[in-house]
Structure 1
Amino acid sequence: MTGRDFKQIVSITGAFIAFMIGSGFATGQEILQYYAGYGFMGICGIGVCLILLIYAATAFTRAGYREQFARPNGIYEYYFGKKLGLIFDYFTVISIYLCYVVMLAGAGAAIKQHLGLPVTVGGILIGVLSCVTVMFGLQKMVDVISKIGPLIIVLVVSLAVITIVQGDVSRLGEINAEIQTNDTLLRASNNWFMSACSYLGISITWLATFMTALGKDAYSLKNATIGSIAGVVAFLGSMVLMVIAFMLNIDSLANTEIPTLILADKVSPVLGSIFAFVVVVGIYTTAVPLLWTTASRFAEDRTKKFTILTIILAAAGMVVGMLIPFSKLVNVVYVLIGDFGFVLIAFILLKHIRTKQW
């Protein structure tokens, strides 16, 4: 493997991690609603996601490399055919834009919880920053977020490890039993398996065009594949540690807007301040590709039309994101999109069975 190949694999891995972190993971809402709220079975759910997300992410990057689609949304026609592909294409664009709005709401909630500032401050901050970054185009965007993603994962894992070391791990069995009877926890579904499927669906919906675009620009099929697998393993590995940390503090985290800030503040007020920044940066790294994916569906990257559309979408997102509570947005928008994404992976599997090509 050459230095150039290694650098690109790290870039793909970093871009994947940065994209997936978002407001849901960085704030802890995803971790709480999709996994920690089910105790040990939530960790089993992460195992299900690990296998299927590796399959889907590598499928997108490999298809992008092989097919060299003129536009990333060509991945939908590739898997669904022309007519059905168009329907999935538009649904995905709407879904991804709704997730962008969730990111802005998450930024507002994080700034409000830690600094006591109005939610509009965080929403406008991320809205403006994401808008400016997207206007520079795909490659510049990947260069920026791929460097931030791994750093955030290191900080998140550090927080999880410190929390676990300081906690009473011997009580995990007892805590797991208490979680099963806790009706106050906001959960994504009635059971852990459907929750994992929903999360997988969200991830696949997000990743389809973005990973396709990364695969198209890869130097080789090997780079695209290894980068995708490494990204999934690093991201979900850190998720397992965070679930354990959340379980050890489930009583104080239930029904809070930004659970990770609660954990960080428990360790140290200084760490709490650092994590307030980490949460906002994590939201930024996901908001950027979500906005780019939406704008690039209707306009060519880095054109005048693309720039104008990006500004309009960012402005509208800032307005809507300020009106609805963050935790409620996560619970409604993510669950709806998750069901759609699970259908997407079924079509991917059928395509591979039919063509005998992964």
Structure 2
Amino acid sequence: MPHTSQGFLARARLYLVGIGAIYAGAVFLLGIPYFQSHTVYLNAIKLPWFANFDAPEKYGLAPNKTLNFKLNTADNETLGAWFILSDSYYHSLPSLPSPVSAHVEIALRKRPTILFLHGNAATRAFKARILHYEALSARLQANVLAIDYRGFADSTGTPSEEGLVKDARAAWDWLVSRGARPEDILVMGHSLGTGVSAQLGAELSRDGIRPKGVVLLSPFSSIRELLNTYHIFGLVPLMRPLAMIPYMTNVVTWALIHKFDTLRAVPNITADVVIAHAQNDWDIPYTHSEVLFNAFLAPYLPQVDSPMNPMSIKKDEWARISEQQRVRSVKHDALVTRTELPHFGSVEKFEADGRKVILVKALAGGHDYLGVQEGVQDAIGRALGFF
């Protein structure tokens, strides 16, 4: 019996050492630009494999509803793209549109268009994304332009943060060049695409352009904070073991070359914004969306002083800070309206300076399927004038 126990303990130690070595190796690779890029973008995973983008019908879209084409970026990359007609326009035609290209400009004038910027990995033909196109073109009655970033699917080039933002702007410019009005274009990003959408929204604002809105589905505040809050399989905190080594987490985050700092983009976005997140999202905690919503709200709330040394704060200073917190809370409650929706979740909203910001927290939907929920689509539709 003692030999059996010793053998079990020896194997357990061996497994733990092996897991630790794999973990240490994975974290080390995150600091190397090549591996970091492949981890952030996962663009080598081209699901569905060997996709035929000329035949979107194979992946669930209606016959002759989608135009497969290529668009060019300002730095001469070529992006694969799908333009999907809204259901209302598609069904208004006496026969199937042929060729689809002849209907693009008419459809852009008839209905709003959603520029859909997807997350990492896979392609525009991935099943979860197809479900989004179907839902958006049906429930919101919108056209959809879906692109594959550089280095993804059949697009040329290598992905980078700056490059993905250029790709999004190229898609925006393509829509405008074909007659779409900026106020009829909604910029929608999912997961990694929210980092791209936020930067595109900030860029458009700097150029004096106001889109129909910016929607962030399952966003993160920054890649750095995502690393700090990420849980493997929703259970094991990725960075917790490193936190036991002084300054080690700082070393890893310092090595990040792809930052996608949405929080920094927030002050520069002047369009209406809808943020949506599922509370059962295992990939990106919904607290990231709360942080972003509060960042939009913060400029309209009174400041609260932070004591230099909380341990030695004096009584009169504590009273002053407490009063500041009370005033801030009163102002918060006056600005923000919150609606609880049984069995669905909640919606928080505030309006200021002619712009509204909405936070939708759904009870379910996970990471990949939040945007296909009718409740989420309805919140977007009501907030941004689709209905």
Structure label with greater radius of gyration: 2
Same fold (TM over 0.5): no
Give the strand-richer structure, 1 or 2: 2
- Give the TM-score of the pair, scaled to structure 2: 0.23
**Greater relative CO (CA pairs within 8 A, separation 6+):** 1
Instruction: Name whichever structure is richer in helix by fraction.
Output: 1
